[in-house]
């Protein structure tokens, strides 16, 4: 065991006890990034100089007795968070030259908490994807390996973050989740990840994909680590009108609460046709673990679940088509000159956007068009309200829901690539919570027959991340997930 | 008889509605903290939000919302306690986000009214359909370089109110009167400076024509007309064009047009087929705008007296005519000036002076009432000097002109130039004696019945006294001397 295997909680203890220094911890991670990133492609940009500066500052603060909460903790920052003076690409060629003159609220908070930024993590272009193959900077590889030797996807869109944390080249990471972009890659890479309630973290400075769904969250190797990170990321921000002006509870403390007496709902509609037996089995294990820990298991119905995907694939592209209009080559980012203004737009966007982004911009433009708006966008909004109502009604009877995170384990790069709709099905279990804005977390809970990790999902009430952490911790303890990916820092390949 | 334009097939009525874009007076923009001052260096008042940078989010400016509510209250309109912002999507170089944040189907202000007065003295009520908040775009400049266009984003994000009228106007005069009245109300409220030259008020004019008694026919929108005179011209020009189309067997197509005042024509800008599909949808970055009822009530309580109320009060309190009052209340500063001078003085005299010499002097010197060379205090002092017979009316006009030139007080001018009125009867008698002696022939004529000559004698005496004689005393003494 090396410093790279520490959890954030353990690292904070070791730093506090001066058994290790932030500089040592950071150097170990910089070395691991240098060794593994050429293979994993988890980072688009690495920032070793910034990391070293911050590590020194963290050690100095600790020596002076005023170390902030995350002093010296090396993190991967999804390259969707704008970082002042550090290139921020959203994994799109159109932003390849973009260096923001400002810092996102979430990363500003993590910086103020003393954390160490190792670099900007790869993702699907503009966070649109479930496999990280849509990145304009090349796909990310999942550190877990299959016997057939095929390179596996880490999931998406926060695939770089998940891969980095799983491969032990970062202690934790930020992610963003629009329809499952934290939870699905966490499940594919065998780590924990939480999408908090919409409004819990400020969206200021996060490159927007679908504004009514985008939410930042944390990814780490334990539930407690996710709680520690999320605590530092959360809170009201007057620069984001949709951020919630309410106190941030002690998420870390909630992890130890236990589940005795909690009512856990099992939604019938998540038992989809053709679900892999091992996923079905894992779900049953989760139910048994919680029952044994003292929770009451209640069957519930979320009747509009089947409409989640179609609604999501109307609402998210609609908002994206508008949010991405600003990438026009006029003020920042890449530009391809043209004969006139329209030609400049067309050439710039044709060259700058990848196929999946173009597809969603076109879908979004279509569903908002005159004559189609009522049939698509308006109807989708109505169904979205029904999906929210499903959750509200269920949460009158239960405290949290337990479901699988994804319908499969990680697949290989190249698989499921022919038909975008097959790819969209990855989000079937994660999308409803996004549409409802409720918090949801994926916990590594087991492995499939080929040894690949599988996750379970816990969904809670609006602004009740505490219960989500309590239930997730109980599953984590019972599951005893200790398997390690083949590709990881310190492992002999 | 209502206004019509005669065509070959008989008379045509006009139907006019106006959409006015009024720039809100506020220190910062609708969704960012950037300044709004007019005429600053290009691109010097632009935040990352206004420039549409990645990850930037709009935050509503409370003062802009208050200004819209004040305007709604001033238009006697319904204030919607819950309204919503929407995105209006289109691509243009001066629209950094690729969409304008506006209010589509749930505006902040609903139906209201504006009373207009016509030259005939008749008044009419023009319905207000709605008022909504939206952000302005930047400015494209195509005349700075032979092959390049430049973009100034200072205006990008500035708060606008779009005030939409009902199609209630029936002739160019009504359209002009509506715009003037709306401008007056906005200026009273302090919500828009109404300056059409600087573009802080612009109008889109919707015009259609019909045969008397018919339902509405297709309308055309004449975009971005930037003076009241041009609005009136655009209405007539566009109406005549449409009449010609209908009468030549054609069909008026709904389209957007531009008015060319130099050529006196409207030109098609884009037809319905290439009309933008704005793909409106609710702005997900902003929550619905929810107003507190007591906050709205407090704004209402703090509203200034509006022109209609002020006009009635000036008539009631000062006894001036409705016509005079209407002129004074057109600008709040003018009404304030009048009230300051008229307080405790002969209001009729004040009104005459203001409508006469005072306005003439402002016109001549190209000044407005705020920077008038003659202050309300000084004009009042001048009128006091007439009332207490220190000077006569004729000298007063002379003194006034010197006040316009120098800005001095009338007292100082009179003292410095020895213009004080002569009431010494001895001096008057001496002057009369000299005039009568020098004009013995005229005295004889007068005495033989040519009484018209009396005025001649008055004039000669005043001339001899350098205009300073008290006219009443001169008259009285002359009558005595001439028997």
Selecting from A102, A238, A345 the residue whose C-beta is nearest the C-beta of B48 gives: A102
Question: What are the distances in angstroms from CA A417 to CA A152, A183, A356, A359, A431?
Answer: 13, 20, 11, 14, 20
**Residue A493, pLDDT score:** 52
Whether residue A458 is preceded by a cis peptide bond, meaning omega within 30 degrees of 0, is no
Mean of the pLDDT values across residues B172-181? Answer: 96
Angle in degrees, 0-180, between the axes of helices A277-292 and A465-479, rounded to the nearest 10: 100
Choose, out of A81, A236, A322, the residue to mutate when testing the contact with B (most B CBs < 10 Å): A322
- Asked if B281's CB is within 8 angstroms of A368's CB, the reply is yes
Q: Are both B403 and B429 inside the same structural domain?
A: no
All residues of chain B having their beta carbon less than 8 Å from the beta carbon of residue A208 are: 54-55, 285
State which residue of chain A sits closest to B43, comparing Cα positions: A331
Domain that holds residue B463: 425-481
pLDDT band per the 50, 70, 90 thresholds, residue B272: low
Residue B429: in which H helix or E strand, if any?
A: helix B425-438
Selecting from A207, A330, A370 the residue whose C-beta is nearest the C-beta of B55 gives A207
Distance of CA A340 to CAs B92, B95, B423, Å? 12, 16, 82
Tell me which fold the domain A3-257+441-479 belongs to: Amidase signature (AS) enzymes (3.90.1300)
Statement to judge: residues B97 and B167 lie in one domain: yes
Nearest-by-CA chain B residue for A82: B55
- Does residue A237 contact residue A204 with C-beta atoms inside 8 Å? yes
Q: Which token pair is A275?
A: 């679900």
Last residue in a domain, options B362, B393, B417 = B417
pLDDT at A275: 82
Q: Where are the beta strands (DSSP E) in B216-351?
A: 220-225, 255-260, 265-271, 281-282, 289-290
Do both B22 and B110 map to the same domain?
yes
A281 is catalytic: no
CATH number at residue B468: 1.10.10.410
Q: Do B293 and B363 fall within a single domain? A: no
Contact A100/B at CB under 8 A: yes
- Upper half-sphere CA count for residue B205 (Cβ side, 13 Å): 35
User: Which residue among A78, A93, A111, A416 is the active-site one?
Assistant: A78
- Whether B124 and B118 have beta carbons less than 8 Å apart is answered as yes
To the nearest whole angstrom, how far is the Cα of A137 from the nearest Cα of chain B? Answer: 19
Mean pLDDT of B176-200: 95
**How many other CB atoms are found less than 10 A from the CB of residue B90?**
14
Task: Kindly report the nearest CA distance between residue A106 and chain B, in angstroms.
Answer: 12
In chain A, where the domains are located = 3-257+441-479
SS3 track for B108-156: CECCEEEEEECCCCCEEEEEEEEEEEEECCCEEECCCCCCCCEEECCCC
Query: Of B417, B439, B461, which residue is a domain's last?
Result: B417
pLDDT at B430: 87
Judge whether B406 and B451 are in contact, CB under 8 Å: no
Band of pLDDT at residue B150, cut at 50, 70 and 90: very high
Q: Residues A21, A130, A181, A442: which is the catalytic one?
A: A181
Q: Which backbone phi and psi does B21 adopt, to 5 degrees?
A: -100, 115
- Same domain membership, residue B321 and residue B230: no
- On whether both B255 and B356 belong to a single domain, the answer is no
pLDDT for res A440:
98
Record: contact A328-B91, CB cut-off 8 A: yes
Integer Cα distance of A168 and A462 in angstroms? 32
Q: Are B286 and B351 contained in the same domain?
A: no
Cα A183 to Cα A406: distance, rounded to the nearest angstrom:
8
Interface with A, mutate which of B57, B86, B141, B150 (most A CBs under 10 A) = B57
Cα–Cα distance for residue pair A489/B332, rounded to 1 Å: 76
Tell if the CB–CB gap between A240 and B55 is shorter than 8 Å: no
Question: Six-digit token pair at A50?
Answer: 């910034």
CB-CB under 8 Å, A242 with B279: no
Task: Please report the pLDDT score of residue B471 as a whole number.
Answer: 81
Domain boundary among B386, B417, B448: B417
Question: What pLDDT is attached to residue B467?
Answer: 81
Rounded Cα–Cα distance for residues A244 and A199 (Å): 5
Burial class, B363, CB count within 10 angstroms (exposed 0-12 / middle 13-18 / buried 19+): exposed
Q: How confident is the model at residue B437, as a pLDDT?
A: 87
**Residues B198 and B256 grouped into a single domain:** yes
Average pLDDT score over residue span B457-475:
84
pLDDT-based confidence at residue B46 (cuts at 50, 70, 90): very high
| Chain B neighbors of A241, CB-CB under 8 A | 57-60, 285-287
Same domain membership, residue B152 and residue B34: yes
Around A390, how many Cα atoms within 13 Å sit in the side-chain half-sphere?
A: 27
Please identify which residue in the block is written with the tokens 């990170």.
A229
Q: Which class for B378: exposed (0-12), middle (13-18), buried (19 or more C-beta within 10 A)?
A: buried
> What pLDDT, on a 0 to 100 scale, did the predictor assign at position B274?
65
Contact (CB<8Å) A331/B99: no
Q: Domains in chain B: how many in total? A: 3
Claim to verify: residue B178 and residue B30 sit in the same structural domain: yes
Q: What crossing angle do the helices spanning A308-323 and A355-368 adopt, rounded to 10°?
A: 100
User: Residue B427 in contact with residue B456, Cβ under 8 Å?
Assistant: no
Phi-psi bin for A294: left (phi > 0), alpha (psi -120 to 50), beta?
A: left
CB distance A325–B286 less than 8 Å?
A: no
Structure token pair of residue B187:
């200026």
Instruction: Tell me: do B221 and B330 sit in the same domain.
Output: no
Q: What's the pLDDT at B271? A: 64
Contacts of B151 in chain A (CB under 8 A): 330
> B148 and chain A: CB distance < 8 Å anywhere?
no
Closest Cα in chain B to A367 = B279
β-sheet bridge partners, residue A219: A173, A193
Q: Is A181 among the residues known to form the active site? A: yes
Residues B145-157, mean pLDDT to the nearest whole number = 92
The pTM is what?
0.91
The 3-state secondary structure of B159-188, one letter per residue: EEEEEEECCCECCHHHHHHHHHHHHHHHHH
Residue A82 and residue B54: Cβ atoms within 8 Å? yes
pLDDT higher than threshold 60 for residue B147: yes
Residues B437 and B345 in one domain: no
Contacts of A204 in chain B (CB under 8 A): 55-57
Nearest alpha carbon to residue A30 among A44, A11, A51? A51
- Inter-chain CB proximity A242 and B284 less than 8 Å: yes
| pLDDT at position B273 over 70 | no
Contact B281 A212 (CB under 8 A): no
CA-to-CA distance for A318 and B92, rounded, in angstroms?
19
Q: Decide if pLDDT at B313 tops 60.
A: yes
Query: Catalytic annotation on A472?
Result: no
Distance CA B171, CA B118 (A): 11
Find where tokens 């205090």 sit: B377
Query: Chain A 265-324, CB below 8 Å of chain B: which residues?
Result: 318-319, 321-322, 324
Residue B281 to residue A373, Cβ atoms within 8 A: yes
Query: A77: helix, coil or strand?
Result: strand
A-chain CB neighbours of B280 within 8 Å are 368, 373
- Residue range B321-340, pLDDT digits in tens: 999 999 999 999 999 999 99
pLDDT in tens, chain A (493 residues): 799 999 999 999 999 999 999 999 999 999 999 999 999 999 999 999 999 999 999 999 999 999 999 999 999 999 999 999 999 999 999 999 999 999 999 999 999 999 999 999 999 999 999 999 999 999 999 999 999 999 999 999 999 999 999 999 999 999 999 999 999 999 999 999 999 999 999 999 999 999 999 999 999 999 999 999 999 999 999 999 999 999 999 999 999 999 999 999 999 999 987 788 999 999 999 999 999 999 999 999 999 999 999 999 999 999 999 999 999 999 999 999 999 999 999 999 999 999 999 999 999 999 999 999 999 999 999 999 999 999 999 999 999 999 999 999 999 998 877 777 777 888 999 999 999 999 999 999 999 999 999 999 999 999 999 999 999 999 999 999 999 999 999 885 5
Q: Residue A418: is it exposed, middle or buried by C-beta count within 10 angstroms (0-12/13-18/19+)? A: exposed
Paired tokens of A262: 């909690």
Residue B448 has pLDDT above 80, yes or no: yes
Taking the Cβ of residue B149 and every Cβ of chain A, the question of whether any pair is shorter than 8 Å is answered with yes
Q: What pLDDT is recorded for position B451?
A: 83
Q: Where do we find the tokens 């950071």?
A: A26
């Amino acid at each position: 065991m090396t410093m790279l295997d520490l959890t954030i909680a353990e690292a904070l203890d070791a730093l506090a006890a001066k058994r290790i220094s932030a500089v040592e911890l950071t150097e170990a991670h910089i070395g691991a990034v240098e060794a593994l990133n050429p293979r994993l492609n988890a980072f688009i940009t690495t920032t070793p100089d910034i990391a070293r500066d911050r590590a020194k500052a963290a050690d100095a603060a600790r020596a002076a007795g005023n170390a902030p909460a995350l002093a010296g903790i090396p993190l991967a920052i999804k390259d969707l968070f704008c970082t002042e003076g550090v290139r921020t690409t959203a994994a799109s060629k159109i932003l390849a030259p973009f260096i923001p003159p400002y810092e996102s609220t979430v990363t500003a908070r993590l910086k103020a908490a003393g954390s160490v930024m190792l670099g900007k993590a790869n993702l699907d272009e503009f966070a649109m994807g479930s496999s990280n193959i849509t990145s304009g900077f090349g796909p990310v590889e999942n550190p877990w390996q299959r016997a057939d030797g095929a390179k596996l996807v880490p999931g998406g869109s926060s695939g770089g973050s998940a891969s980095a944390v799983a491969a032990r080249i970062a202690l934790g990471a930020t992610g963003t989740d629009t329809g499952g972009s934290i939870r699905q890659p966490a499940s594919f890479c065998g780590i924990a990840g939480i999408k908090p309630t919409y409004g819990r973290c400020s969206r200021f400075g996060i490159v927007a994909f679908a504004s009514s769904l985008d939410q930042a969250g944390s990814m780490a190797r334990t539930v407690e680590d996710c709680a520690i990170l999320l605590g530092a990321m959360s809170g009201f921000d007057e620069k984001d009108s949709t951020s919630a002006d309410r106190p941030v509870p002690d998420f870390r403390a909630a992890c130890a609460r236990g589940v005795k007496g909690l009512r856990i709902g099992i939604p019938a509609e998540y038992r989809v046709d053709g679900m892999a037996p091992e996923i079905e089995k894992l779900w049953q294990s989760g139910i048994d673990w919680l029952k044994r820990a003292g929770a009451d298991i209640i069957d519930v119905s979320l009747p509009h679940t089947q409409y989640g995907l179609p609604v999501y694939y109307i609402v998210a592209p609609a908002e994206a088509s508008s949010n991405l209009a600003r990438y026009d080559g006029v003020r920042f980012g890449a530009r391809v000159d043209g004969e006139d203004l329209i030609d400049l737009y067309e050439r710039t966007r044709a060259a700058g956007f990848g196929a999946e982004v173009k597809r969603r911009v076109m879908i979004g433009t279509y569903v908002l068009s005159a004559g189609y708006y009522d049939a698509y966008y308006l109807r989708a909004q109505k169904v979205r309200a029904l999906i929210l109502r499903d959750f509200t009604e269920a949460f009158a009877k239960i405290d949290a829901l337990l479901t699988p995170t994804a319908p499969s384990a990680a697949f290989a790069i190249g698989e499921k690539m022919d038909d975008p709709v097959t790819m969209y099905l990855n989000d079937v279990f994660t999308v409803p919570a996004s549409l409802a804005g409720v918090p949801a977390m994926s916990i590594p809970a087991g492995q499939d027959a080929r040894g690949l990790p599988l996750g379970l999902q816990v969904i809670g009430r609006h602004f009740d991340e505490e219960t989500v952490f309590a239930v997730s911790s109980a599953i984590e303890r019972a599951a005893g997930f200790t398997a390690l990916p083949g590709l990881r820092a310190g492992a002999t390949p | 008889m209502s206004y019509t334009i005669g065509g070959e097939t008989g008379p045509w009525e006009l139907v006019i509605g106006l959409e006015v874009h009024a720039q809100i007076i506020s220190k910062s923009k609708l969704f960012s903290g950037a300044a709004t001052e007019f005429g600053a260096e290009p691109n010097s008042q632009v935040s990352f939000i206004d420039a549409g940078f990645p990850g930037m989010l709009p935050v509503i400016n409370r003062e802009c919302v208050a200004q819209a509510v004040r305007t709604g209250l001033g238009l006697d309109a319904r204030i919607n306690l819950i309204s919503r912002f929407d995105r209006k999507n289109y691509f243009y170089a001066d629209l950094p986000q690729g969409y304008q944040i506006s209010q589509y189907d749930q505006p902040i202000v609903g139906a209201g009214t504006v009373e207009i007065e016509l030259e005939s003295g008749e008044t009419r009520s023009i319905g207000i359909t709605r008022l909504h908040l939206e952000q302005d775009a930047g400015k494209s400049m195509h005349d700075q370089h032979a092959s390049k266009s430049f973009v100034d984003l200072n205006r990008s994000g500035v708060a606008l109110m779009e005030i939409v009228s009902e199609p209630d106007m029936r002739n160019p005069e009504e359209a002009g009167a509506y715009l003037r009245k709306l401008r007056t109300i906005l200026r009273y409220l302090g919500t828009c400076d109404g300056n059409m030259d600087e573009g802080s008020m612009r109008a889109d004019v919707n015009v259609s024509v019909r045969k008397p008694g018919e339902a509405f026919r297709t309308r055309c929108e004449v975009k971005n007309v930037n003076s009241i005179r041009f609005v009136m011209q655009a209405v007539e020009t566009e109406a005549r064009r449409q009449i010609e189309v209908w009468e030549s067997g054609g069909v008026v197509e709904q389209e957007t047009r531009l008015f060319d005042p130099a050529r006196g024509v409207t030109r098609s800008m884009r037809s319905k087929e290439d009309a933008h599909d704005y793909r409106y949808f609710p702005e997900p970055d902003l929550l619905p705008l929810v107003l507190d009822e007591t906050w709205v009530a407090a704004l209402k309580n703090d509203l200034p007296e509006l022109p209609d109320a002020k006009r009635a009060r000036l008539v009631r309190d000062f006894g001036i005519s409705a016509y005079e009052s209407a002129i004074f209340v057109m600008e709040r500063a003018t009404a304030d000036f009048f009230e300051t001078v008229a307080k405790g003085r002969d209001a009729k005299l004040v009104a005459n002076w203001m409508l006469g010499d005072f306005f003439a002097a402002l016109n001549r010197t190209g000044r407005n009432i705020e920077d008038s060379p003659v202050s309300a205090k000084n004009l009042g002092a001048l009128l006091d000097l007439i009332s207490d017979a220190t000077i006569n009316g004729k000298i007063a006009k002379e003194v006034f002109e010197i006040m316009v030139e120098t800005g001095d007080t009338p007292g100082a001018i009179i003292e410095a130039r020895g213009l004080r009125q002569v009431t010494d009867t001895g001096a008057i008698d001496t002057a009369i004696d000299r005039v009568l002696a020098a004009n013995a022939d005229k005295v004889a004529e007068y005495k033989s019945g040519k009484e018209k000559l009396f005025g001649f004698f008055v004039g000669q005496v005043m001339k001899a006294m350098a205009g300073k004689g008290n006219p009443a005393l001169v008259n009285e003494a002359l009558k005595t001397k001439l028997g």
